[in-house]
Structure formats: C-alpha cells, structure tokens
Amino acid sequence: GDSVTQMEGPVTLSEEAFLTINCTYTATGYPSLFWYVQYPGEGLQLLLKATKADDKGSNKGFEATYRKETTSFHLEKGSVQVSDSAVYFCALPSGGSYIPTFGRGTSLIVHP
C-alpha cells in the first residue's frame, strides 16, 4: 500500500540553522502529500501540503516541494527557532481516500 518513509531523529540544531527533514513516498499515482507537526502536549496540526507534482507547500517559513522524479517531499526551513521544536510527520492519503497515513515522525530539537 501507499506509504511514506522519514529520516530518523532526533534532529538537533542551533537556533537560526538550516533544517531539512527527508521524506520519500511510495504510492500508486500521484497523491497529495502533507507535513503535520505535533508540538509538545498538543495534537497534530497540518503544517503544509502539496496536491500535485512540482507543487510547493509553504507555511510559517517551512517549505516542501513535491518531486515525482525522486518521489520525495523534503521539509526545509532556512532559519529554525526554539519554538519549532516538535515532532514532524510526513503523510499521504491512503488508498485513494482522505485518511492520512503517517510516517514514524522526526523529532526536532532546537537549542538557543
């Protein structure tokens, strides 16, 4: 079935460093792709999405480009802040539905 694979964490960075969290997908066709974020003690929130190949999703300084040639949807941010510390999940809808299927998550820790 459709699935995503994320890089293992934790990712530990200093404030203002560049962030990349890798995500690759396996799917039939070209599903929408999502990044969700889970801040400590909170539920999952949709961070950004891309609905077709070559689309770029962006929100709160984060970006991800849907690349079908490499089946990737890597999350990037040019300058991270301490408040970005959270767990980030790559996801796609499974089986042609809207049900998100999640990767295992990548923990980001940003130090001042």
Partner 1 sequence: EAGVAQSPRYKIIEKRQSVAFWCNPISGHATLYWYQQILGQGPKLLIQFQNNGVVDDSQLPKDRFSAERLKGVDSTLKIQPAKLEDSAVYLCASSSLKTGEAFFGQGTRLTVV
- Over the window 19 to 38, marking each residue x when it contacts partner 1 by CB under 8 A and - when it does not, the resulting string is -----------------x--
**Smaller CB distance to partner 1: residue 18 or 39?**
39
Min dist CB 11 to partner 1, Å, is 15
Q: Return the sign of the alpha-carbon dihedral for residues 103, 85, 72, 94.
A: positive
| Residue 57 makes contact with partner 1 by CB under 8 A | no
| Residue 86 makes contact with partner 1 by CB under 8 A | no
d(CA 66, CA 84): 22
Name the residue among 69, 68, 110, 112 with its Cα closest to residue 88: 110
Residues touching partner 1: how many (CB under 8 A)? 21
Among the listed residues 13, 71, 76, 93, the single contact to partner 1 using CB under 8 A: 93
d(CA 82, CA 92): 27
| Residue 46 makes contact with partner 1 by CB under 8 A | yes
| Residue 80 makes contact with partner 1 by CB under 8 A | no
Burial class (CB in 10 A: 0-12, 13-18, 19+), 78: exposed
d(CA 6, CA 36): 12
Contact positions toward partner 1, by CB under 8 A?
36, 41-46, 49, 89, 91, 93-94, 97-105
